[in-house]
């Protein structure tokens, strides 16, 4: 029997929590608006060739065939076969420490990515459902509502959601600019810290991404040394999100904060925490696999307790433990993936250069940092937003404007290149070149 609801009078609005009605999620950012535009009119080579090409998604598909090949050759990794006892054991597994075999495999994989220059203890690996959960969980542990983390700009637009929305923690920007290739300077650090103090905001830590998203650039050793000295002098934490560490085009060009600590005999290491995930390097965002690696015993213990809200399925752990424990596979994957990403990066840089567009010289990641400031009608955020709307509406390319990354200089854009085929990238570059040709003739 149908239930009739009397709607003669408008229903009284029912109150919700502060989190539910908060605007700190960041969903109104152009970063997410571009995704919506793509979802409404997605490019397809045969079905919708005039659709929007998604260049705002940092996803790695260039080496997915290697993962597929491994699974074809190792069916036992993704199935239980006749081992009913193994199925039962994993189906009933609920320990929020995670499978020891997977934590060992993850620690080993992180060491391989860093060329064996840093060691990781599986007992300090805390598993989370992706890097998003890892960063939020760490923020809950390190800071109270109203406190702040210092984050260098430009930064990943999702941090506005990940670090602020549910935690109540603020982000105070460390303003970096093109004069220093957007590297973090000692003066910028001090200015950000003093700015927070002037607003009576307690700073609890610095959060960096290394390699940087959106810059596609590794942080220099000297900068990391200075960061460690800075957080030690202020008695605050350092979170290093190294989710793209395996996507550096050459292993020697990446220095992990773990290497710096090891060289210092782990002095002051209790304030350092590393975030990692398999979403980017291994191209498995749908598996939701992230880790927190902390040198602080209390943080490890608390993070493990809190990870019960963000667990990874035991079947996923079982599969990936098998994959990452295969040394032949991981060595080949890491090397091949680096080479393919470098080739793809060179392809987009050359294509943009042909159109007369310059980019920040990068050495990592799934994107480039493109400078379109000469095209701005006015050197302002509004001018950048107007140009972005033209590229999205006329050229049918979704790229991420610098303002969504809180870049202090208008005219910079993040352009992703690894989430599509080379053929689609060629079409995207052709569209950009045609757009630039029209602009130059106006």
Give 105: exposed, middle or buried? Use CB within 10 Å, 0-12, 13-18, 19+. buried
241 is known as an active-site residue: yes
User: Rounded to 5 degrees, what are φ and ψ at 270?
Assistant: -65, -10
Beta bridge partners, 10, equal none
**Quick one: three-class SS letters along 184-202?**
CCHHHHHHHHHHHHHCCCC
Among residues 53, 184, 243, 391, which one is catalytic? 243
**Are the beta carbons of 359 and 368 closer than 8 angstroms?**
yes
What are the DSSP calls for 14-59, one per residue? PP--HHHH-STT-TTSHHHHHHHHHHHSB-BTTTBTTSBEE-S---
Give 111: exposed, middle or buried? Use CB within 10 Å, 0-12, 13-18, 19+. middle
Kindly give, in sequence order, each residue whose CB lies less than 8 Å from that of residue 380, ignoring residues fewer than 6 positions away: 410
Q: Residue 420: helix, strand or coil by DSSP?
A: coil
191 is known as an active-site residue: no
Helix axes 30-40, 381-390, angle to 10 degrees: 10
What one-character DSSP code corresponds to residue 407? -
39 is known as an active-site residue: no
Alpha-carbon distance values, 419 to 284, 344, 413 (Å): 12, 11, 17
156 is known as an active-site residue: yes
Among residues 280, 292, 312, 348, which one is catalytic? 280
Kindly give, in sequence order, each residue whose CB lies less than 8 Å from that of residue 422, ignoring residues fewer than 6 positions away: 344, 347
Among residues 31, 43, 155, 156, which one is catalytic? 156
Query: 390-408: string of b/e by CB count within 10 Å (b at 16+)?
Result: ebbeebbbbbbbbbbbbbe
Among residues 241, 274, 295, 357, which one is catalytic? 241
Q: Would you name the residues annotated as active-site residues?
A: 156, 241, 243, 280
């Amino acid at each position: 029997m149908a239930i009739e609801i009397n709607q003669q009078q408008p229903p009284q609005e029912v109150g919700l929590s502060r989190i539910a009605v908060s605007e700190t999620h960041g969903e109104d950012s152009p970063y997410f608006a571009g995704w919506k535009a793509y979802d409404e009119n997605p490019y397809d080579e045969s079905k919708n060739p005039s659709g929007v090409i998604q260049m705002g998604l940092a996803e790695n598909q260039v080496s997915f065939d290697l993962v597929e090949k491994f699974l074809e050759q190792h069916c036992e990794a993704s199935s239980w076969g006749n081992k009913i006892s193994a199925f039962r054991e994993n189906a009933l597994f609920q320990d929020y420490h995670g499978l020891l075999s997977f934590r060992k495999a993850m620690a080993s994989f992180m060491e391989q990515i860093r060329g064996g220059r840093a060691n990781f203890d599986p007992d300090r690996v805390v598993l989370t459902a992706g890097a998003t959960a890892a960063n939020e969980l760490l923020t809950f542990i390190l800071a109270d509502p109203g406190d702040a983390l210092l984050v260098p700009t430009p930064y990943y637009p999702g941090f506005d959601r990940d670090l602020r929305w549910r935690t109540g923690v603020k982000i105070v920007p460390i303003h970096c600019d093109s004069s220093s290739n957007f590297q973090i300077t000692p003066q910028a650090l001090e200015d950000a810290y003093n700015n927070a103090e002037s607003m009576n905001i307690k700073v609890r830590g610095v959060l960096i991404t290394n390699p940087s998203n959106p810059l596609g650039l590794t942080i220099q050793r000297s900068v990391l040394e200075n960061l460690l000295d800075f957080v030690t002098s202020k008695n605050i934490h350092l979170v290093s999100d190294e989710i793209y560490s395996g996507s550096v085009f050459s292993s020697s060009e990446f220095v992990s904060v773990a290497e710096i600590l090891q060289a210092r005999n782990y002095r002051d290491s209790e304030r350092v925490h590393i975030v990692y995930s398999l979403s980017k390097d291994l191209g498995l965002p749908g598996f939701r696999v992230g880790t927190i690696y902390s040198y602080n015993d209390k943080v490890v213990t608390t993070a493990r307790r809190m990870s019960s809200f963000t667990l990874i399925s035991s079947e996923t752990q079982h599969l990936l433990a098998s994959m990452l424990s295969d040394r032949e596979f991981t060595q080949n994957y890491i090397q091949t993936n680096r080479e393919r990403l470098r080739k793809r990066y060179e392809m987009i840089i050359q294509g943009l250069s042909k159109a007369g567009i310059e980019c920040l010289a990068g050495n990592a990641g799934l994107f480039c940092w493109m400078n379109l400031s000469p095209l701005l009608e006015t050197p302002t955020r509004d001018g950048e937003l107007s140009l972005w709307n033209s590229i999205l509406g006329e050229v049918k390319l979704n790229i991420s404007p610098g303002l969504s990354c809180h870049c202090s200089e208008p005219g910079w854009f993040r352009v992703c290149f690894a989430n599509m085929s080379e053929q689609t990238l060629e079409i995207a570059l052709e569209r950009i070149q045609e757009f630039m040709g029209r602009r130059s003739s106006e």
